[in-house]
């Protein structure tokens, strides 16, 4: 199911448990040839300051081949990498959100970067589709 998000992002709500969603996203990122670079636990971070939020994780991912292409096209675009999925439990439902790479890279006005953005946009959609599929392929 699609979820309302800002025009520069995407979102899906799924029926999977939170931990399963995070695990499947990590596996799908790697299955599509990208690298999981880091996972951030915002719950733990805000807890250190005495605050509390619901189940939340951020999965940062990218690949060196894309990095080389984007830096060659415009070094300023380094700010667009890595990409990130946010997984949150909101009102009992699990939500997966991510920024639209095509929009992010298009704003540089560079054809090579726009192409990288389109490729990454398609990859992100496929990753989420695979991760949230009822019967994931092994």
- What pLDDT, on a 0 to 100 scale, did the predictor assign at position 7? 73
Residue 130: partners with Cβ closer than 8 Å, 6 or more residues away: 24, 28, 31, 32, 136, 137
- What pLDDT, on a 0 to 100 scale, did the predictor assign at position 12? 94
- When pLDDT is cut at 50, 70 and 90, the band that residue 3 belongs to is low
Structural Rg of the chain based on CA atoms: 15
pTM: predicted TM-score of the whole model, two decimal places: 0.91
CA distance 40 to 44: 9
Burial code of 17-34, b = ≥16 C-beta within 10 A, e = fewer? Answer: ebeebbebbbbbbebbeb
Residue 93 lies in a domain: yes
Vertex 61, ends 55 and 67: CA angle to 5°?
155
Q: Is the per-residue pLDDT at 138 higher than 70?
A: no
* Distance in angstroms between the alpha carbons of the first and the last residue of the chain: 23
Would you state the torsion angle of the CA atoms of residues 115, 110, 117, 103, taken in this order, to the nearest 10 degrees?
A: -130
* pLDDT tens digits for range 60-104: 999 999 999 999 999 999 999 999 999 999 888 999 999 999 999
Tell me the three state secondary structure of residue 38: strand
Residue 78 lies in a domain: yes
Number of domain units in the chain: 1
Residue 88 belongs to what domain range? 9-132
Residue 13 lies in a domain: yes
Between 1 and 105, whose confidence is greater? 105
CATH of the domain at 21: 3.30.310.70
CA distance 128 to 97: 9
- What pLDDT, on a 0 to 100 scale, did the predictor assign at position 78? 96
- When pLDDT is cut at 50, 70 and 90, the band that residue 29 belongs to is very high
């Amino acid at each position: 199911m699609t979820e309302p998000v800002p025009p520069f992002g995407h979102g899906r709500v799924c029926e999977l448990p939170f931990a399963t969603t995070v695990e499947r996203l990590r596996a799908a990122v790697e299955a599509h040839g990208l690298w999981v670079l880091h996972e951030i636990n915002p719950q733990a971070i805000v807890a250190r300051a005495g605050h509390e939020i619901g189940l939340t994780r951020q999965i940062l991912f990218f690949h060196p081949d894309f990095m080389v292409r984007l830096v060659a096209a415009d070094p300023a675009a380094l700010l667009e990498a890595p990409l990130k999925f946010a997984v949150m439990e909101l009102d009992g439902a699990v939500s997966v959100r991510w920024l639209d790479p095509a929009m992010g890279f298009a704003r540089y006005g560079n054809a090579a970067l726009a192409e990288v953005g389109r490729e990454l946009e398609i990859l992100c959609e496929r990753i989420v589709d695979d991760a949230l599929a009822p019967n994931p392929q092994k």
